[in-house]
Structure 1
Amino acid sequence: MTLPLARRRIWVTRPAGQADALCAALAAQGAEPVRLPLLQIAPAADAAPLQAALDALAGFDLAVFVSPSALDAVAAARTAPWPAGVPAAVVGPGSAARARALGIAPVIAPPAHFDSAGLLAELDTHGSWAGRRAVLFRGDGGRPDLPDGLRARGLDLTVVAAYRRLPATLTIQALDDALAAGCDAVIISSSEAAQHLFALAGEATREQLQSLVYFAPHPRIIAALAEHDVDARLSRAGDAGIVDSLCCHFARPTSSP
């Protein structure tokens, strides 16, 4: 039986260290995953706020993580077990799986709508948060939607930059070589990754990139890709959702006998 993604070269652009599970899931469906990280995750420029928040972690009523990178940054900086009674709130299934793998419990995650709005709606089902303390672990900068939403629910919020997002060391030559080898689809996991990809490309390379089909799990990333005039398809969230979306895209219609 031919696997759904047999002989398909799929670019996986997640940071190094965050692509293993997705690449394995793609390979299980016959694909040839090509790792082209467009971002690298670096420690926060100032480690003191992160360490202070971790030292005080048991005193918070909620810890919120924007991404697996935030979870990894906290795990790298904290050696003590996760304090009992401090739930972790995460946005998507990838973060939920990562939190559980790190021994963090309990985990609050939206059952659908894997974004800030989805997480805030899920938190609303857990009762009132007014007057309680929360810490938000995220990258440097970041959108205001989640912190604003948490404060609007009455939480006393501490925001901590746990890591930095930097352009990866991908060269234009490596990008041209990957294009020459062929590409059937590109998985983009953040708006910043889309920006770095097209910032790296020269005019000729840009035209080649515009001929590819892109998959992203959030409308915000689709909008960032649309700025570059490409064919961008919204996938389902999580590794399984992304792979399933690709399988559906490449499925061939069955001819009538």
Structure 2
Amino acid sequence: MTSSRRSTINPATALPLAGRRIWVTRPQAQAGTLAALIEAQGGTAIRQPLLDIAPPADPAPFAAALNALETFDLVVFVSPTALDLGFARLGRDWPAALPVAVVGPGSAARAREFGAVTVISPPQQHDSEGLLQEAGMQDLAGARVLLVRGEGGRDLLPETLAARGATLTMVSAYQRQPPALDDAGLVRLIDAGIDAAVLSSSEAASVLFTLAGGAARERLQSLLYFAPHPRIVAALHAHGATRVETCATGDTGTVASLCHHFADPQP
């Protein structure tokens, strides 16, 4: 049984995603650009997040760190959400001499727009492992490093930064919460028609299949997924998903991958 509802379109004139319904699973605050790019290619973006963003349980350390930015030699934002919240709550210009480290090209561009002069970001491998390969992340002996992230998360960055000699301050800018969505809601979502779902984190994959009971699980396992990182691909496979495509990173790259996939007739 397929969940897709495809309209009759003229392949000679249609945009690449015409008639396609693409599920954007990101938190609402991060979904806008990707959704707009999908719709610019003729698709319908279904905005149903798998993670909601809420303030940290204790916001005081985050606020204190922002007030003391000049005491740090480097600030690392682990995620786009951490970056956006950091600059949104700063309330003043970013210190010109303070470098920023981020993972993805979108975050690097936003950091520069926000006023950061020196931005460290991997050009190709857009994850923590890639960031740690950058020259500016190597010799950190005695460096005072602020790491901003969500509550929980992987320990690779903080452990490696500390091992390289950094004096590390780690604060939570937010916490992730599951959405108000249950098995019945997932069934309704699938019944409305989904041609593909874009997942941007392995945590979102886990939340998705935790929410799914018997009615939705098998249908979710047969959906087509696009994921930008091997960890997310592996998480989806671990939950029984059988159709997973590795897409390019960044919003533009993700949409390019979607367009490429749907450009040719699919079996």
Pick the TM interval, shorter chain.
over 0.9
The answer for the alignment partner of 2:250 in structure 1 is 238
- How many residues were matched structurally? 252
Where structure 2 has 5 or more consecutive residues not aligned to the other structure, the ranges are 1-12
Secondary structure of 1:21 counterpart: helix
Q: Report the TM-score when normalising by structure 2.
A: 0.90
Secondary structure of 1:17 counterpart: helix
The answer for the alignment partner of 1:140 in structure 2 is 151
Percent identity for Structure 1 against Structure 2: 57
Map residues 80-95 of structure 1 onto 2, 5 A cutoff: 80-95=92-107
Map residues 122-137 of structure 1 onto 2, 5 A cutoff: 122=134, 124=135, 128-137=139-148
Q: Deviations over 1:152-173 (max 9, x none)?
A: 2221111111110111122434
2:49–2:179 CA contact under 8 A, matched in 1: yes
Q: Deviations over 1:43-66 (max 9, x none)?
A: 111111112211211111100001
Q: Does 1:103 align with 2:103?
A: no
Secondary structure of 1:138 counterpart: strand
The answer for the alignment partner of 2:228 in structure 1 is 217
Q: Considering only aligned residues, what root-mean-square deviation do their CA atoms show, in Å?
A: 1.5
Q: Distance in 2 between matches of 1:116 and 1:88?
A: 14
1:37–1:170 CA contact under 8 A, matched in 2: no
Secondary structure of 2:125 counterpart: coil
2:77–2:148 CA contact under 8 A, matched in 1: yes
Q: Distance in 1 between matches of 2:107 and 2:176?
A: 17
By how many angstroms is 1:238 displaced? 0.4
Q: Distance in 1 between matches of 2:138 and 2:156?
A: 20
Where structure 1 has 5 or more consecutive residues not aligned to the other structure, the ranges are none
Give the alignment partner of residue 183 of structure 1, picking from 164, 181, 194. 194
Secondary structure of 1:7 counterpart: coil
Q: Distance in 2 between matches of 1:111 and 1:48?
A: 34
By how many angstroms is 1:199 displaced? 1.1
Give the alignment partner of residue 26 of structure 2, picking from 6, 14, 27. 14
2:131–2:137 CA contact under 8 A, matched in 1: no
By how many angstroms is 1:127 displaced? 6.6
Q: Deviations over 1:22-42 (max 9, x none)?
A: 001111111111011010111
The answer for the alignment partner of 2:89 in structure 1 is 77
Q: Deviations over 1:120-159 (max 9, x none)?
A: 111x257733211110000111111111221222211111
CA 10–50 in structure 1, closer or farther in 2 if over 3 Å, else same:
same
The answer for the alignment partner of 1:113 in structure 2 is 125
Secondary structure of 1:134 counterpart: strand
Whichever residue aligns with residue 178 of structure 1, its letter is L
1:36–1:170 CA contact under 8 A, matched in 2: no
Q: Distance in 2 between matches of 1:75 and 1:247?
A: 33
1:130–1:153 CA contact under 8 A, matched in 2: yes
The answer for the alignment partner of 2:214 in structure 1 is 203
The answer for the alignment partner of 2:178 in structure 1 is 167
